[in-house]
Chains A and B, each alone.
Chain A
């Protein structure tokens, strides 16, 4: 009886996993292929929701919510605001001849890395999902004890990106006038 329940559980997990994968893949394809920037943002949104679902499937609900908060609440909203401000028309966008050919070619280029990733994933613990990452307290403690250096380095990276964006946007001619 117990064994049957486990099998059913695995089956259910597989079905949910396939649906989420379908969502993520189609979202990613929509994001790359669509001409309208808004639909690209929508594809990104779908992909991120699917990724949050993946975390939830691994029973780390806190990470799933964090994923939604950061990727959707911040990244997608900001990119949508940029799209609204620029309001680019299709005719204004640069031409992309042989777009689909290039896409297939670049995905072939990535194939060896994907294979490596797959091989490294196979070496992971089989009880990966049983690790105690489901509560916020554990995540917070790990982040501020064991992983505090990478955490801070990432924040420096973000700061650098922000400074870079400001410097790129700054018009050098205006500086001379002042």
Chain B
């Protein structure tokens, strides 16, 4: 183990943990603001710390404090198995968190001839890890629902369990046809396959090469993460809150956070498997490294433009109506955020300028490309999370029998058919 490998391992591990845990408040905020947008209202935007409201993001931190300080309530009718009742949310949370750890955030970085994976768990069977660990999440739901000794919880848990079982099959079959296409179960190899092109024009993303498998993958991952329109396990109009009816405070928060981490993981898996992962189309890692000066010049032009548009948008929107005198510190917040943006742009520009024209150190260029890929990954991740949220606030919930019907009568035959066609085509081509 060299020093570089240790540093890369620690950095990617902390990056994975931060991405999994720190996106929860951001996702809760996005959920509320997008719900507001769709329902033609504002959503939370008043909570602030010293006048900083960050568009309402501070509200999520207030919620965390609320959940931490709430009273823990144990239902008195739970006689034996109270420890398992308390342990059940932790299973769901930890399974969702661990499943995220196999995702690569950037291409393998080469330092002194050593190939280092930029992923919290440097394993070459990441897909397998994801499928194994994420399947454990439903165990917490079933344990919690059964031990609550409550008809609503029991029904919710039974629904969650049977839904996961019936959707695991099409999920596995669609993933299998993608695996046959990429000829690997290594996430990193999948992404580098997708950085190429087919018919010498289209980027060979999974969504273009395997449209049917990709759509089935997205639908089944919606079901696996218990998101709308598949929220029958906690359908409040029928089952109060489903399996988490008897849970309070931090134990409820564990289920809640587990759901958001699972959604984040599902987005990461979708973009890694069928949307090119951390790469932009037509731009593989080697091309980025070979034509580093062109790449960095493009960045040097585009970053100030994006920052300019952002500042202009913020100045236009972050203020109260002109009839109200007291703006609650919004002008001050705008000023500070503008200054921070300008300083960051100047810093990034100077670093890029130094790397492109003054120093030609391959190592630092490597690191710059890795950081760029991480940025692309995070942007794509957030776009897919927003897609998840928009779907939630657009579609009504399926009825329970409709879900089983779709799973068994449509998705499984379609996935099987797709698998056969893929196998025939792959064998025929080779």
Task: List the interface of chain A (C-beta within 8 A of B).
Answer: 36, 38-39, 42, 45, 61-62, 65-66, 68-69, 72-74, 76-78, 80-81, 83-85, 87, 135-136
Given contacts A69-B131, A73-B136, A87-B154, A81 and B125 within 8 Å (CB-CB): no
* B131 close to A80 (CB less than 8 A): no
CA distance in complex: A45, B81 (Å)? 16
CA distance in complex: A152, B60 (Å)? 53
B138 within 8 A of A: yes
* A36 close to B133 (CB less than 8 A): no
* B139 close to A76 (CB less than 8 A): yes
* A42 close to B143 (CB less than 8 A): yes
The interface residues of chain A lying within 8 Å CB-to-CB of B162 are 81
Nearest-CB residue, chain A, relative to B164: A77
B146 within 8 A of A: yes
Which of A62, A78, A81 is packed against the most chain B CB atoms within 10 Å? Answer: A81
Interface flags for B324-338 (1: CB within 8 Å of A; 0: not) read 000000000000000
The interface residues of chain A lying within 8 Å CB-to-CB of B125 are 61-62, 65, 136
Q: Which 5 A-B pairs have the closest CB atoms?
A: A73-B135, A69-B132, A68-B132, A81-B161, A84-B158
Task: List the interface of chain B (C-beta within 8 A of A).
Answer: 80-81, 84, 123-125, 128-129, 131-133, 135-136, 138-139, 142-143, 145-147, 154, 157-158, 161-162, 164-165, 168, 185
Nearest-CB residue, chain B, relative to A71: B132
Nearest-CB residue, chain B, relative to A37: B146
Excluding A39-B84, A85-B158, 16 further A-B contacts by CB distance (< 8 Å) are A38-B81, A38-B84, A38-B147, A39-B81, A61-B123, A61-B125, A69-B135, A72-B135, A72-B139, A73-B132, A73-B136, A80-B143, A87-B154, A135-B124, A136-B124, A136-B125
CA distance in complex: A42, B139 (Å)? 10
What are 14 contact pairs spanning A and B, CB under 8 A?
A36-B81, A38-B81, A38-B146, A42-B84, A42-B143, A62-B128, A66-B128, A68-B132, A68-B133, A68-B136, A72-B132, A80-B146, A81-B158, A136-B124
What's the least CB distance linking A71 to chain B, in Å? 10
The interface residues of chain A lying within 8 Å CB-to-CB of B132 are 65-66, 68-69, 72-73
The interface residues of chain B lying within 8 Å CB-to-CB of A72 are 132, 135-136, 139
* B124 close to A80 (CB less than 8 A): no
State which of A61, A69, A74, A77 has its C-beta within 8 Å of the C-beta of B142. Answer: A77
CA distance in complex: A42, B161 (Å)? 16
What's the least CB distance linking A60 to chain B, in Å? 12
The interface residues of chain A lying within 8 Å CB-to-CB of B128 are 62, 65-66, 69, 136
Nearest-CB residue, chain B, relative to A76: B139
Which of A68, A73, A136 is packed against the most chain B CB atoms within 10 Å? Answer: A73
The interface residues of chain A lying within 8 Å CB-to-CB of B133 are 68
CA distance in complex: A62, B185 (Å)? 12
What's the least CB distance linking A36 to chain B, in Å? 7
The interface residues of chain A lying within 8 Å CB-to-CB of B136 are 68, 72-73
What's the least CB distance linking B404 to chain A, in Å? 13
CA distance in complex: A136, B80 (Å)? 42
CA distance in complex: A22, B336 (Å)? 57
Which of B123, B132, B147 is packed against the most chain A CB atoms within 10 Å? Answer: B132
CA distance in complex: A69, B143 (Å)? 18
What's the least CB distance linking A78 to chain B, in Å? 7
The interface residues of chain A lying within 8 Å CB-to-CB of B135 are 69, 72-74, 77
CA distance in complex: A39, B80 (Å)? 10
State which of A45, A73, A83, A135 has its C-beta within 8 Å of the C-beta of B146. Answer: A83
The interface residues of chain B lying within 8 Å CB-to-CB of A84 are 142, 145-146, 154, 157-158, 161
* B84 close to A81 (CB less than 8 A): no
Nearest-CB residue, chain B, relative to A139: B125
* A45 close to B139 (CB less than 8 A): yes
Nearest-CB residue, chain A, relative to B145: A84
* A80 close to B139 (CB less than 8 A): yes
What's the least CB distance linking A99 to chain B, in Å? 18
The interface residues of chain A lying within 8 Å CB-to-CB of B124 are 135-136
State which of A42, A61, A62, A77 has its C-beta within 8 Å of the C-beta of B138. Answer: A77
CA distance in complex: A20, B38 (Å)? 51
The interface residues of chain B lying within 8 Å CB-to-CB of A76 are 139
The interface residues of chain A lying within 8 Å CB-to-CB of B142 are 77, 80-81, 84
What's the least CB distance linking B81 to chain A, in Å? 7
The interface residues of chain A lying within 8 Å CB-to-CB of B146 are 38, 80, 83-84
Nearest-CB residue, chain A, relative to B125: A136
CA distance in complex: A83, B161 (Å)? 11
The interface residues of chain B lying within 8 Å CB-to-CB of A81 are 142, 158, 161-162, 165
CA distance in complex: A19, B428 (Å)? 51
CA distance in complex: A73, B165 (Å)? 9
CA distance in complex: A68, B129 (Å)? 9
The interface residues of chain B lying within 8 Å CB-to-CB of A85 are 158
What's the least CB distance linking A55 to chain B, in Å? 12
